[in-house]
Amino acid sequence: MKRVLPAFWLIILLTLPLWLRDQYILHILITTGIFIIAAMSLNLLLGYTGQLSLGHVAFFGIGAYVSALTTLGFDVELLGGFRVVHEPWPAVTGFFIAIVIAGLSGYVIGKLSFKVRGAYFVIVTISFAEVTRLVALNWVELTQGPLALTNIPPFTLGFPGLGDYTFWDKTAYYYLVAIVGLVAYVVISRLVNSRIGRAMIALKENESLASSVGIDVTHYLVLAAVVSAAIAGGAGSLYAHYIKIIDPDIFLFIYTVTMVIMVITGGKGSLAGPVVGGLIFGFLPVIVRPFAAPAVQWILYGGLTILVVFVLPRGIVPTVQGWIASRAQSKGAPAGLIWAGNSEPGDAKR
Amino acid sequence: MRQYASKTALAAIVLAAGLATGAGAQETIKVGVIQPLTGAFAASGNYVANGAKIAADEINAKGGVLGKKLELVIEDNKSNPTEAAAVAEKLIVRDKVPVMMGAWGSGFTLAIMPKLMEYKVPMLVETSSAGKITTSGNPYIFRISPPSSVEAVAFAKIVDKLKIGKADFLVVNNDWGRGAADDFGKMFKEHNIKVGLVETMDPPAQDMSAQLAKIKASDADTLIITTAVEQLTLIFKQAAALGLKKRIITTGGSQNPDQLIEQAGAAANDTTHITFFTPWNPNVSADPAMAKAFIDEWKKRGYPFAGLTESFRGYDGIRTIAAAINKAGKAEPEAIRAAFWQIELPGMNGTIKFNKAGPAGQESGQSNPGIYLIKIENGKVVLPSA
Amino acid sequence: MDQFLQHLVNAAVLGGTYALLGIGLTLIFGIMRVVNFTHGELYAFGAYTVYLIAAALGLNFFFGLVVAVVAGMLLGAMIEITLLRPMRQADIDTVMLVMIGAWIVMQNTELLVWGGVAKAIVTPFPDAPLVIGPVSISWLRVFVLAAALLLILGAYVLIHRTKLGKAMRATFQDPDAAALMGVHIKAIHTATFAIGSGLAAAAGALLGPVFLVTPTMGDLASLKAFAIVILGGLGNITGATIGAFILALVEELGAGYVSSGYRDAMGFLIIIVVLLFKPTGLFARAERVG
């Protein structure tokens, strides 16, 4: 059963557009999928290394802007009179550059921020995201500020001999997001299950102990930050080329909050957690919209968040996994069970 | 006999039901309306939506469009561009509207524009004033509200009378505000008016005393302000607290003078405003009878008087769309789009007729309304004597 | 020079109210170690309460201020008892998540009740400003500064001169020893959160009439409060007060002489710079980081 379940979900994931004809739901799936990728990357920092990064949307936004600017081209004058002109490049190149630059910013922020821990780190990460937003808003020459970067072209892949294919169609974009999501999932799972991952979990559990046995704490934290930021940047690029318009509101704290809620309710520190959390909070607004005013919807999410923390503190996925594991244990009871108490087997029949 | 009767009755009921639903399904032409009904701009969005409803009811009372009733499908963009794009998608894909009106804020309208290209559905822009909207090469955009370039041109006709020597700008830091500073600045230079400081403020900013202190110390005689009513209230109060004595002229069409008087009190006195509709004096409207009828209906429905400065756009917008549908002869996106270029009808502030704007071959439509200069004196809105 | 003096006066008024926010949060974040996302909402709550009493019900403005502070304290106590007390053993990010949930619920309840449109509060102060040489300041702002300073003094006296204050400091330095000495730990936690929240509500009640009351007004206030707490050092009231005035000054001078658009970024830049170079804040005594 354990082997069958992931394969089952994989089949559903890959064949979805074939039997789901509703374009609107497909659209929701695509944007939800992009946010799930970002949430998975946040999980790496939040769940596995235990660092409360509340500025995660900064990496997402940086990826989006870098990708958009790479494909649109820009012309800015820097301090000292240097003029930087960039010609438009293909969208796919933008995607990879976005990943690199986002990863780099993860490195810089990681190196700077990990001098502080815990609550201070929270504040630094929030501040970083806010400063990024204000830069995007005010550096109008580069980012168009609140005018937004518009007409961002979609991805175009060139197949030798077959010609070009442009991702206008929703079905095609769905597959693109699904594939990138799968790649991200595999990367994260390989990282987490490797020696590096174990070191990360060790320092989450007990940092001073971990460093006393020789684990270079800062090194692993920075590594986690880089990978996490790079993946988030990739998700941002996907977002930019799908929605085709990017404005500084993408850096708003509320998007980080949404990702955090996805991760923690789904189950931080578990691979499937962000996926489950993402699906719930991606579709909840759509389901609730016809019935409740937006303010009421948000009150529901807030209440749900608090409820999950009180009732399912580890998140949905770990709790369900634990529940399944304990059921499996009790079902397998007859073989080799140590009887507790004084009753003999067969007592009940009397 | 009973069986025969019941079968006949059943058939009759089914037939009647079929006719009713069938007829009902063909009876309406849907028009999508996207406005901020919640969030920071909820007040404005609701004014526009309610103005739209008055127009729809009026049109339906006169027989509707192409013999069918006009049905407004109103969606909330939550004062957010991503949400705006999402509801536009829903309206087009799910509700299959052949035409839309929206989306109040320029950011929201810009976010929807790629969808219009993708699905080839036209949209009437009733409030947004970013220049980019009509210069991006999107042939599905038809705008009745003026961008600041059009506003500046209209203002140029009366600016000499005001005898401005040097003007400072205090604008909200977005396309609307910066665009206004650019366009008015250009126009001023053509009229030998010097341009001094250009200060900006973030849209949610509440403390402008730093910028105002700077402006107070400058040598300009006039201050041009472009922002919405909440920030205007704060600016007036803070300017009064600083003892700022310059002449203040506001632009942009989102001033809502009645709300200014109510919330800024005495600080709003002696301020001048460029507006696009004067509900305080419908006689100077392009069509006084229509203006009076609209104002009366608005009051009858119990809506706040202050909302008239924005709701007229919803009213004009729906009437324009109805005219286009009538001209097109069918409720189909491409036909309606072509029809927009051919219509001409009286609006609240001038004739509505679309001129080409933007890159050749992919022009958007822009209509050029008139403007009115009003002043607040002793807590009342007055039209300055010529 | 004139401009500079005007900026100084503006900064002083803002600094006073920022200090209330900062002191309130340094008690909660600094001493209780709760990443309090609801601090901004208490600020907004204070403002809306004054709006309710003074504008909607038309009662006395000063009565409204008093009600706002008291109501803020009660609300804070309620939050502590229902949400924080059961979570006392949980780790910091779980508590943070609960506070995020509470923040979302509070802000949207405010939105639901009052609507998204900004509200103005009319005050009994004269419109004409007090003019001293080149500097103008409205009477309302004079009152706000005076009230803020009074409350700051009151907070200082409470923490450092009263038995309650001593019990608070003892509880958070060494809870076990304090319990052994007969201190009611649970009550102290509630009282600390209530006082911190009351101060935030006071800040909102004083600033609400100066600007406008909106449901999202708390967000920026919250972030600035965190900046002040970090600047001044966790748990350090004097530090928070000085930090608040520094932030207000940097904002005001930055907006006046550098760039008005980046005004609100100043606070965040301060946070980042301070935390990078002096993580314990400018004034903290030896304090373990994190």
Tell me what ipTM this predicted complex has.
0.78
Contact C7 B213 (CB under 8 A): yes
User: Would you tell me how many other CB atoms lie within 10 Å of the CB of residue B167?
Assistant: 23
Q: Does C59 touch chain B (CB under 8 A)?
A: no
Mutate to test the interface with C, among B178, B207, B214, B229 (most CBs of C within 10 A): B207
Here the tokens at position C288 are 């373990």
CA atoms within 13 A on the CB side of C229: 30
Contact residues on chain A for B107, CB-CB shorter than 8 A: 146, 148, 247, 249
Strands (E), B130-252: 141-143, 166-172, 194-201, 222-226, 247-251
Q: Which residues of A touch B (CB under 8 A)?
A: 23-24, 27-28, 31, 137-138, 140, 145-148, 150-151, 168, 243-245, 247, 249, 293-295
- Contact indicator for B197, C213 with CB cutoff of 8 Å: no
- For an interface test with A, which of C110, C271, C278 has the most A Cβ atoms less than 10 Å from its Cβ? C271
Chains contacting A with at least 3 CB pairs below 8 Å? Answer: B, C
d(CA A266, CA A46): 12
Q: Which of A203-217, C97-111, C226-240 has the lowest mean pLDDT?
A: A203-217
> Can you list the positions of beta strands (E) in chain B?
28-35, 69-76, 100-101, 123-125, 141-143, 166-172, 194-201, 222-226, 247-251, 271-275, 344-347, 350-353, 355-357, 364-366, 372-377, 380-382
What is the distance between the alpha carbons of residues B264 and B248, in angstroms, rounded to a whole number? 14
Question: What gap in Å lies between CA A198 and CA A328, rounded to an integer?
Answer: 27
Domain ranges of chain B: 24-146+286-366, 149-275
The 10s digit of each residue's pLDDT in A155-165 is: 777 666 666 67
3-state helix, strand, coil in chain A (%, to 5): 70, 5, 25
What is the pLDDT, as a whole number, of residue A136? 86
**For the domain B149-275, what is the CATH superfamily, name and number?**
Response regulator (3.40.50.2300)
Q: Taking a C-beta distance cutoff of 8 angstroms, is the pair B267, B236 a contact?
A: yes
Considering only CA atoms, which of C260, C197, C255, C187 is closest in space to residue C225? C197
What are the tens digits of pLDDT across the range C62-120? 899 999 999 999 999 999 999 888 887 777 777 888 888 899 899 889 888 887 777 88
Residues whose CB falls within 8 Å of the CB of residue C82, separated by 6 or more in sequence, listed in order: none
Q: How confident is the model at residue A254, as a pLDDT?
A: 78
**Angstrom distance (rounded) from CA C275 to CA C257:** 25
**pLDDT at res. C106:** 92
Which residue on chain A is closest to B80 by alpha carbon? A249
Residues in chain C: 290
B110 touching chain A per CB within 8 A: yes
Kindly report the backbone phi and psi dihedral angles of residue B128, in degrees, each rounded to the nearest multiple of 5, phi listed first. Answer: -55, 140
Q: Encoding tokens for residue B57?
A: 């009811």
User: Which residue did the predictor score with more confidence, A209 or B325?
Assistant: B325
Identity of the residue in C116, C217, C256 whose CB atom sits nearest the CB atom of B214: C256
Give yes or no for residue C286 having a pLDDT over 50.
no
For residue C194, give both structure tokens.
């209530």
Decide if C33 touches B, using CB distance below 8 A.
no
Pick one of 3.40.50.620, 2.40.110.10, 3.40.50.2300, 3.20.20.140 as the CATH number of B24-146+286-366.
Answer: 3.40.50.2300
Query: Over the stretch C176-219, which tens digit does the pLDDT of each residue have?
Result: 888 888 878 888 889 999 999 999 999 999 998 888 888 888 88
Can you tell me the distance from the alpha carbon of C272 to that of A124, in angstroms, rounded to the nearest whole number? Answer: 6
pLDDT digits (tens, 9 = 90+) for B15-60: 444 444 444 445 789 999 999 987 778 888 999 999 999 999 999 9
Q: Residue A62's CB: how many other CB atoms inside 10 A?
A: 27
Q: Find the DSSP H helices in chain C.
A: 2-25, 39-50, 61-79, 92-114, 139-161, 163-173, 175-180, 185-207, 217-232, 237-253, 265-277
The mean per-residue pLDDT over the stretch C243-250 comes to 90
Q: Counting one residue from A and one from C, how many pairs have CB atoms under 8 Å apart?
A: 126
Q: Compare C176 and B316 and report the one with higher pLDDT.
A: B316
**CA of A258: which chain C residue's CA is closest?**
C100
Minimum-distance CB partner of C104 among A120, A301, A313? A301
Assign 3-state DSSP to chain B and report helix, strand, coil percentages, each to 5. Answer: 50, 20, 30
Question: Comparing B24-146+286-366 with B149-275, is the CATH topology the same?
Answer: yes
- Report all structural domains of chain A as residue ranges with CATH numbers, in order of start: 28-285+293-349 (1.10.3470)
Q: Indicate the range of A140-144, B194-198, B323-327 predicted with least confidence.
A: A140-144
User: Chain A partners of C117 at a C-beta cutoff of 8 Å?
Assistant: none
